[in-house]
Amino acid sequence: MFNFEYYAPTKIIFGKNTEDQVGEQIKNFGGSKVLIHYGSKSAVKSGLIDRVKQSLDESSISYVELGGVVPNPHLSKVYEGIELGKKFNADFILAVGGGSVIDSSKAIAYGLAEPDCDVWQFHTKQNKARKCLPIGVVLTIAAAGSEMSNSCVITNEKTGEKRGHTNNLSRPKFAIMNPELTMTLPDYQTQAGCVDIMMHTMERYFTQGGNMEMTDTIAEGLLRNVMKYALILHNDPKNYDARAEVMWAGSLSHNGLTGCGNNGMDFASHKLEHELSGMFDVTHGAGLAAIWPTWARYVYKNCLHRFVKFSINVMQVEAASTDEETALKGIAAMEDFYKKINMPTNLHELGINPTDEQINQMAESCASAAGGQIGAAQKLSKGDMITIYKNAI
Amino acid at the residue 113: A
Q: How far apart are CA 66 and CA 238, in angstroms?
A: 29
Q: How far apart are CA 319 and CA 322, in angstroms?
A: 8
CB of 168 to its own copies, least distance (A): 8
Choice between 33 and 51, CB closer to its own copies? 51
Choose the binding region for its own copies from 122-130, 197-205, 212-220, 322-330 (rule: CB under 8 A): 212-220
Task: Report whether 156 contacts 111 (CB < 8 A).
Answer: no
Amino acid at the residue 150: N
Choice between 16 and 348, CB closer to its own copies? 16
Binding mask 308-337 for its own copies (x = CB under 8 A): ------------------------------
The yes or no reply on residue 11 touching its own copies (CB under 8 A) is yes
The yes or no reply on residue 116 touching its own copies (CB under 8 A) is no
The yes or no reply on residue 209 touching its own copies (CB under 8 A) is no
Cα four-point dihedral sign 75, 81, 87, 91? negative
Among 225, 302, 381, 387, binds its own copies (CB under 8 A): 225
Interstrand relation of 161-166 and 151-156 (parallel, antiparallel or unpaired): antiparallel
Binding mask 232-261 for its own copies (x = CB under 8 A): --------xx--xx--xx--x-------xx
Among 224, 234, 379, 390, binds its own copies (CB under 8 A): 224
The yes or no reply on residue 15 touching its own copies (CB under 8 A) is yes
Nearest CA-CA partner of 262 in 206, 305, 313? 206
Task: Report whether 46 contacts 91 (CB < 8 A).
Answer: no
Q: How far apart are CA 120 and CA 115, in angstroms?
A: 12
Choice between 48 and 276, CB closer to its own copies? 48
The yes or no reply on residue 205 touching its own copies (CB under 8 A) is no
Q: How far apart are CA 124 and CA 102, in angstroms?
A: 19
The yes or no reply on residue 150 touching its own copies (CB under 8 A) is no
Choice between 39 and 136, CB closer to its own copies? 136
Choice between 28 and 54, CB closer to its own copies? 28
Task: Report whether 224 contacts 185 (CB < 8 A).
Answer: no
Nearest CA-CA partner of 280 in 203, 190, 348? 348
Task: Report whether 141 contacts 183 (CB < 8 A).
Answer: no
The yes or no reply on residue 12 touching its own copies (CB under 8 A) is yes
Choice between 5 and 116, CB closer to its own copies? 5
The yes or no reply on residue 29 touching its own copies (CB under 8 A) is no
Instruction: List all residues 6 or more positions away from 32 whose beta carbon is below 8 Å from its beta carbon.
Output: 61, 62, 91, 92
Return residues touching its own copies (CB under 8 A). 1-9, 11-16, 18, 212-214, 217-218, 221-222, 224-225, 228, 240-241, 244-245, 248-249, 252, 260-261
